[in-house]
């Protein structure tokens, strides 16, 4: 029941206490959770940028609708989805699987070719949206890891992705800013923390067929 208790506790924090910082130990725990997250074929077609430079965070703020979380949270992460996944990406994964499980690489060639074939069925638009979905799975894992540690978080879609891509030079390295994650500790004056959680009933979300 701890997971549901943590999910009841968490909320999308609107105002952070700038005097409180998340320890590097706890940040590493969140990163490890993201590393271990589920993804299709195990490809993990995303990258997470940790924006440590305070001046850069100030420059990103107007590109994210001037939301205070960008600069006030202890840490800021940019979840980026890969614009495309290549045969080399699949080959790299097969090599890693072979090394990790101590099995001959040739035994994975059939599976690797299968994955390449399925990916080639996707159009560029379908590929873009598919990799974004994988980044969101990772985001969900990060949110759960934060809640487990009683660390506040704010998943943020309110930003101009094209502008952030340009600011960070992401398109040039095959990435797109997909979603932001602010992490820290809620301010005592954040009114949002006192609101009751609003969710649809389970019998509305689930349907027996």
Enter the pTM of the model.
0.96
Nearest CA-CA partner of 183 in 55, 79, 37 = 79
- 203 φ, ψ (degrees, to nearest 5): -75, -10
pLDDT digits (tens, 9 = 90+) for 88-147: 999 999 999 999 999 999 999 999 999 999 999 999 999 999 999 999 999 999 999 999
Q: Which residue ranges form the domains of the chain, and what is each CATH number?
A: 2-205 (3.40.109.10)
d(CA 209, CA 206): 10
Per-residue pLDDT of the chain (209 residues; tens, 9 = 90+): 699 999 999 999 999 999 999 999 999 999 999 999 999 999 999 999 999 999 999 999 999 999 999 999 999 999 999 999 999 999 999 999 999 999 999 999 999 999 999 999 999 999 999 999 999 999 999 999 999 999 999 999 999 999 999 999 999 999 999 999 999 999 999 999 999 999 999 999 999 99
Residue that the structure tokens 């993804």 belong to = 39
Q: Which residues of 130-146 are buried (b: 16+ CB within 10 A; e: fewer)?
A: bbbebbbbbbebbbbbb
């Amino acid at each position: 029941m701890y997971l549901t208790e943590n999910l009841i506790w968490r909320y999308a924090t609107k105002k952070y206490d700038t005097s409180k910082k998340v320890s590097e130990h706890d940040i590493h725990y969140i990163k490890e959770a993201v590393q271990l997250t589920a993804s299709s074929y195990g490809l993990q077609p995303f990258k997470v940028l940790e924006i440590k430079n305070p001046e850069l965070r100030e420059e990103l703020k107007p590109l994210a609708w001037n939301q205070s979380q960008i600069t006030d949270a202890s840490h800021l992460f940019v979840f980026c989805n890969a614009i495309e996944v290549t045969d080399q990406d699949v080959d790299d994964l097969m090599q890693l699987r072979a090394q990790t499980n101590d099995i001959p690489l040739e035994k994975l060639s059939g599976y690797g070719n299968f994955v390449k074939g399925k990916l080639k069925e996707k159009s560029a638009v379908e590929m873009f949206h598919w990799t974004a979905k994988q980044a969101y799975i990772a985001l969900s894992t990060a949110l759960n890891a934060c809640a487990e540690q009683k660390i506040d978080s704010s998943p943020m879609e309110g930003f101009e992705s094209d502008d952030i891509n340009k600011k960070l030079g992401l398109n040039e390295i095959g990435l797109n800013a997909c979603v932001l994650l602010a992490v820290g500790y809620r301010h005592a004056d954040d009114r949002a923390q006192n609101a009751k959680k609003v969710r649809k009933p389970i019998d509305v979300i689930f349907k027996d067929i």
